[in-house]
C-alpha cells in the first residue's frame, strides 16, 4: 500500500522542506503532476523542476504526464529518481509504442484513464503496463471531490488483473483521503495519490506518518 503525495499541493517556496516532511513521514513516492494547459486546463511545471527535485531527495518519482504529444517528452523526465512515467490513454493513438518508449528508458510504464474513460479501453495493453492510474476526478486541479464511479472501475481492473495473472499496480488519484482509502483498498487500489489532503495538514510530517500507518492497516485487513 504505497502513499504518493502530490507536490502540486505543496508550498513551492519551501519545497525542499516540504519534501523532507513527507520523507520523514514515510511516504513511498513523490507524485509529479505535469500539466500543459492543453490536455488539461492548467499549467504546472516541467522537466527542469523535476530534475532539480531529484538533486534534493532520493525518493522515487511517479511522473504523471497530463500533456498532449507525450512521446516528445518522455526522455526529458527521466532522472535517477524516476520510477514511473504515466501517460493518458486519451492522448495516444499508438499506446503500445508509447509504453515501449517509456520502458526503453528504464522507467516503469503507467497508463492513466479519465473518469469518463471505461477500463475496457486498456484491455489490449494490460499485459504490458506496470501501473494503471485511475483518475477519480477530472484532471487539472487539486482539491476536487472524489467521484464514486471510480470504485467500480478499480474493481474491474483488479478482477482483470487476477483473471489474467498480471502484476500491474492500481493507483488512484483525485479526492483521496482516509475517508475513502479503506474502501479503495478493498476495491483493489495499491497506490494512493494524495495532494491537498497531505500538504494542507497542520503538521505535514505527522499527518503523512498517520496516513501511511492507516494504509498499512487496511492492507493487513
CA 73/CA 178 separation, integer angstroms: 34
Q: By three-state DSSP, how is residue 124 classified? A: coil
Looking at the DSSP bridge assignments, the partners of residue 110 are: 86, 131
Which DSSP symbol is given to 137?
S
User: Could you tell me which residues come within 8 angstroms of residue 149 by beta carbon, excluding any fewer than 6 positions away?
Assistant: 115
Active site residues: 33, 173
CA 174/CA 140 separation, integer angstroms: 10
CA 134/CA 89 separation, integer angstroms: 11
Closest CA to 109 of 126, 125, 130: 130
The three cell numbers of residue 89 are 490513454
Amino acid at each position: 500500500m504505497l502513499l504518493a503525495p502530490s507536490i502540486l499541493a505543496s508550498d513551492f517556496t519551501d519545497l525542499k522542506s516540504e519534501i523532507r516532511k513527507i520523507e520523514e513521514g514515510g511516504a513511498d513516492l513523490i507524485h509529479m503532476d505535469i500539466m500543459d494547459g492543453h490536455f488539461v486546463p492548467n499549467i504546472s511545471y516541467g522537466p527542469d523542476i523535476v530534475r532539480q527535485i531529484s538533486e534534493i531527495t532520493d525518493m522515487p518519482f511517479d511522473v504523471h504526464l497530463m500533456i498532449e504529444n507525450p512521446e516528445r517528452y518522455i526522455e526529458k523526465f527521466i532522472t535517477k529518481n524516476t520510477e514511473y512515467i504515466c501517460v493518458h490513454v486519451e492522448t495516444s493513438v499508438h499506446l503500445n509504442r508509447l509504453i515501449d518508449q517509456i520502458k526503453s528508458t528504464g522507467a516503469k510504464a503507467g497508463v492513466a484513464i479519465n473518469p469518463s474513460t471505461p477500463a475496457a479501453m486498456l484491455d489490449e495493453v494490460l499485459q504490458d503496463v506496470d501501473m494503471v492510474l485511475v483518475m477519480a476526478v477530472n484532471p487539472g486541479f487539486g482539491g476536487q471531490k472524489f467521484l464514486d464511479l471510480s470504485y467500480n472501475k478499480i474493481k474491474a481492473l483488479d478482477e482483470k488483473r487476477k483473471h489474467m495473472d498480471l502484476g500491474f499496480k492500481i493507483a488512484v488519484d483525485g479526492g483521496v483521503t482516509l475517508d475513502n482509502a479503506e474502501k479503495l483498498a478493498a476495491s483493489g487500489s495499491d497506490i494512493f495519490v494524495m495532494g491537498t489532503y497531505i500538504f494542507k495538514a497542520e503538521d505535514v510530517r505527522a499527518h503523512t506518518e498517520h496516513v501511511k500507518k492507516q494504509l498499512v492497516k487496511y492492507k493487513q485487513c
